[in-house]
Every structure is written in C-alpha cells, then in structure tokens.
Structure 1
Amino acid sequence: MPSEQGSTVPRRRLGRELRRLREAAHITIEAATDQLEWSRQKIWRIERGEPAMRALDVEAMCKIYGAPKDLTEALKALAKETKARGWYHAYGDVIPKWFEIYIDLETTASLQEVYNGELVDGLLQTRSYIEAILRTSTVHTAADIERIVEVRIARQSVLGNDGKKFDFILNEAAIRRPVGGPLAIGHQLRQLAAMSEHSNISIRILPFATGAHGAMLGSFRVLDFPADSEPDTVYIEQLTGALYLDKAHELEPYRDQFRNIGNLALDQRKSRDLILAAEKEFCSG
C-alpha cells in the first residue's frame, strides 16, 4: 500500500523553509556559501528539496539565518524524515527520477483536476489496458512492463481514500480508441463507468461535437494540497520528463482552462451513458 508520506515531500518542505529563512534574513546564496563553507550548488540543491539532510547541517543553516530555537528544532526533526524512502524505491529501475516527485505529490494532494486528451488516465486504467499501452513502446522489455504495471496498479490505491477528490475530464477519443482490442477496451470502459459511481470521483467526457477547445494543446493535471503542506501544482508529463508549475501566474491559466472545458463536457450521468454506449459498440462489433 503506497504511503501517504513519501521521501521527497519532507525534503521539499524543508528546502522551502530554509530558503524562506535565508531570504527573510536578507542573506544571499553567495553569502551563505561563504559562512557555511559549502558550494553554491549544495545550497541550491537543498533549497530545491533534492538531498536527504543531516540535522547538524540544518542546525548550521538555521544558526546563520537567525532562526528561533523552536523552529530550528522542528526543522532538525523534519531533516530526519528526509532519509525515508518512498514505497516506489523498489521500482527505481523502471521509474524515472522525475516521476518519483509526482508519485509523492499524488499521495499528498487533496484534489486532482485532470484532463486527458488521448488515453484513459493512469489512475483509472485496467491491467490489460496498461499492458497494451506499454507494448507500443520500443524501449520496455517484458519484465519492465510487468513492473511498471505493478507500480501503476499500486498508485491507484489513492482513489480509495474518500478524503481525496478526483475530477477527470476525458476527451471522447479516450473512450473510442480500441486500446488492446475489443475485449480489453470493453473491460476498461466498464471499469470507468463503475468508478464514476464513487462519491469522490467525477468522470466526465468532452465530446467530439464540442469542436475546437482550449485544451487541444495537451493533457495536464492540477493538484491542490492541504494548507501548509505543498504549493498547488500543475503537472504536465512529456516523453522524457515533466513540468511542475507552482507559481500563481503559471497555475491560473490551467485552472481557467479546466473550468472552460468543464463547462463544455457532458455531466456525469450523460458521460456514464456515453461510456456504456461505447462499450456496447465494442462488444457487439
């Protein structure tokens, strides 16, 4: 069962706090490197939340930044959490480093607003659907595929947490494309319809009849977090990496975009009807 607290979450939280303390003390990175006798790269990586941290190093940083004792002790305790490893560490051979950050964000987010233009979202995919997608790759071996399937299925446990909300909008292409053949896509569509009955999951279809719309440029997801945990973030996956956008001027256009396509999408009932109609077409064809 994936943990609610992954290894990169405390690292990023600690990095943000240390950067905030440095900036509040009006100390530049260059001045900090001189006083700590560290490289500029080390401090930059710490503030980005990349390395695990020693309590002694955190204490040294807090001292030159003038942090109060109680905050210093709290950050030293947080440093110990940065050494924890996420459940996905065992799959490091098939999970790229840039995706590890997303897995931690996914288990922490309280709300996900997701738009998928071509495929059923990974959190909603069946095993046969996942396997069919991965078999189109020229770089995955059969052993890789099985391990990636295990990771994706494990990630789906987050859907069972009623305290988390999920709002999926799928382009109609995602339910019309016969990924894996009629049996596989039929099973996938039946699961979609069943998942849409869950109280914390909304699945809506953006129909072809909509015509042109603003999200035609690609899929994206907006993740909202409980207060004081993580900054709300837009995640955009690419072939060899991903974008993580958490500045207000970056977030708002995607929030607006999601609202716009939400106004164009079918409601949940009509979406479920369309999903089941597509399933019948595949199974009777």
Structure 2
Amino acid sequence: MDVIQRASDAEETGEGGQKARDRVLFLRDELAPSAPCMRLGGELREKREGMGLQQQDVSTALGWSKSKVSRIEGGRNAVKEQDLECLLSLYRVDEKDQEPLRELALIGKRPMWWKPWSGITTAYLQAVLSFEDMAQRIRSYEPLYLHGLVQIPEYAQALIERGPDQGYHAALAELRQMRQAKFAAARGKELICVIDEASLRRPVGNAQIMRRQLRHLMELNEDPRYQLRLAELSRPNLPLEVGPTTIFDFAEALLPTIAYSENFDGGLVIQDEETVDRRVKKFDELRHMCLNPRKTTQKLHDLLRSKYYR
C-alpha cells in the first residue's frame, strides 16, 4: 500500500552536502516499524555511514535489493542472523561491538505481547504499541477523542463499536485494556496528555459513560505518572494547528524522539529531526497554555456537574 518516504532510500543531498537522513512514513497496511528493530536499524545505518557507504553500495556488495537494506535500517524488517553477520563483516564492526547488535536482533524477532491481536489490528496501531512499550515518556494531544491510555472500558467499547462489526469488537476492547494495564504496571513511564474540552462535551456512548469517564480522568490526575491538561474552548489563540499528535520520548541512547499522527486512513510515523522538533515545540506551547493539572481537575468536576448531572 502507500508508503510516503521523504529523503530516505535515495539519501538525497541537500544544501552544503548535508544528507537528509530521516524519514516520514505513512502506514496503512504495510509492514510497520518496531522499536527494537528501529534501534538496530539505526545502529547499522551509523556503521554503514561510518564506512562512507551508500545503501546502493551495500546492496551491490551483498547481492541484496536496495529496498532490503532500506527496510532493515528503517526497522520494518527483523534482521536474519546470517544477514546481520554479513553486515557486521562488511562494516568491519569490532568484536566487542558485535554482541549488543546481535542481542538487539534477537529482541527484534521475539513475539511481542500483542501478538494474539496481530491479526485484527492495523499496522499503524502495532507501531504505536511498540513505541508505547519502549517509551519512557508519552506526550499527546487528541482533539476529537480521549487518548487510548486514559479511556474507561465503556468509553472504549462505544468508540470501537462505531467501526465495522467483523466479530472483533470484544477482542479490540480487550487489547485496549491490556494496553492500559501494561502502561500502568511499567516503572518510570509518564503520560502528558492535553485533553480538548470539545472531546468531553461531545458525548461518547451516553451520559452515564461520560460521568464515569470524567471521574476516571480526575483519579488519573492524582497519579504522578499522569499529567492531564485541559485545552479550554474559551481560551483564545491556542496553537491547535499541531493536530492529533503523540510524541514518544525514549531513554537516552535508545531511540531518538518519534512523533506520530493518526487520521481516518492511517498513521504518520515521523522521525525526521526537524519535523519532530517543530511538533515538540508546538505541543509544548499548547501544553503550557492549557489548564494545569489542578485546575484541570476542577474544570472536570465543574463539567461533570453542569453537563452530565443535569
């Protein structure tokens, strides 16, 4: 299906000979990058560039297609053992540096916890699950609905049931609950979530579900791992043009920050450094203009009384 790649396989050269090294991928049904494979691919890319080689040089030397080299470096393919050994040899990687790369390759081939749901989930959702699994901090703004990690089961079920019924609704709802449980159980993770007031005033399900959902948000805001901020409808000039955006921050030296944006047709995975930086700055600008967590809790309480207890 469609894959939009900007300045990737061709490794286009910009002004001053600076290579445009990173990618912007639109995922629909194609292979999705996984965080462990992306980390290994990034390491291999650095080794290749350290040797002064282009992807075409590698494909010619090893008798591979150039797209295979690109998929490995982009994290969209788990690296086979024999392929990794060929790359280590070609890049003349020191013995002491080889074992960490082999370990990454093994991790990339292990079944992920969401494998039982892989047949009913989209490629872009699987990419999100991978990023959530390894991210240390997640920053998100969703203008239409609440982020999946803060939805109560009834709210999630009401959203899922809007999709075509192929017998998967119950399984998808179960996956969302498991996703939340995994995040809550992980140590050191943090979620910073900007909630648009419009998404709370537009009921999902019914008033009873929304009452439970708002109470749940207030409870989450008491947990230091969650920081919920409300974008008020009455606040002028909020920088909402950032649109639906999730930013994944990883532990130092694990992966660079990744931005993700989902729409009706698929998901945009953004690794391009300048593009990610622009989204991060715009998101942080929005976050700082929103209500702080304490005032957000008070606003949620007021909204609960004024709209869903009338």
Paired residue for 2:20?
none
Paired residue for 1:48?
74
Aligned-residue CA RMSD (Å):
1.7
**1:211 deviation in Å?**
2.8
**1:72 deviation in Å?**
2.4
Paired residue for 2:168?
144
Paired residue for 1:3?
none
Note if 1:272 corresponds to 2:297: yes
Number of aligned positions between the proteins: 277
Structure 1 residue runs of 4 or more that deviate by more than 4 Å after TM superposition: none
Instruction: Give a deviation string over 1:194-214, Cα, whole Å, max 9, x none.
Output: 111101111111111113422
Alignment equivalent of 1:189, drawn from 203, 207, 214: 214
- Percent identity of paired positions between Structure 1 and Structure 2: 24
Q: Where do 1:87-236 residues align within 5 Å?
A: 87-137=113-163, 139-141=164-166, 143-157=167-181, 158-216=183-241, 218-236=243-261
Letter in 2 for 1:152: R
The answer as to whether partners of 1:10 and 1:81 remain within 8 angstroms in 2 is yes
Instruction: Give a deviation string over 1:88-144, Cα, whole Å, max 9, x none.
Output: 11112221112211111112111111112121211100111111112222x233x31
The answer as to whether partners of 1:162 and 1:200 remain within 8 angstroms in 2 is no
Task: Answer 1 or 2: which has greater helix percent.
Answer: 1
Secondary structure, aligned partner of 1:208: coil
Secondary structure, aligned partner of 1:87: coil
- The 1-side partners of 2:284 and 2:98 are apart by 42
Letter in 2 for 1:136: R
The answer as to whether partners of 1:134 and 1:140 remain within 8 angstroms in 2 is no
Secondary structure, aligned partner of 1:111: strand
Q: Which sections of structure 1, spanning at least 5 residues, go unmatched?
A: 1-6
Paired residue for 2:263?
238
Note if 1:281 corresponds to 2:309: no
**1:270 deviation in Å?**
1.5
Instruction: Give a deviation string over 1:161-205, Cα, whole Å, max 9, x none.
Output: 351111111111122112111101111111111111101111111
**1:58 deviation in Å?**
0.9
**1:217 deviation in Å?**
5.4
TM-score normalised by L of structure 1: 0.91
Alignment equivalent of 2:285, drawn from 235, 260, 265: 260
TM-score normalised by L of structure 2: 0.84
- The 1-side partners of 2:47 and 2:260 are apart by 27
Q: Which sections of structure 2, spanning at least 5 residues, go unmatched?
A: 1-32
Secondary structure, aligned partner of 2:114: helix
Letter in 2 for 1:192: L
Instruction: Give a deviation string over 1:45-71, Cα, whole Å, max 9, x none.
Output: 111112222222211111111211222
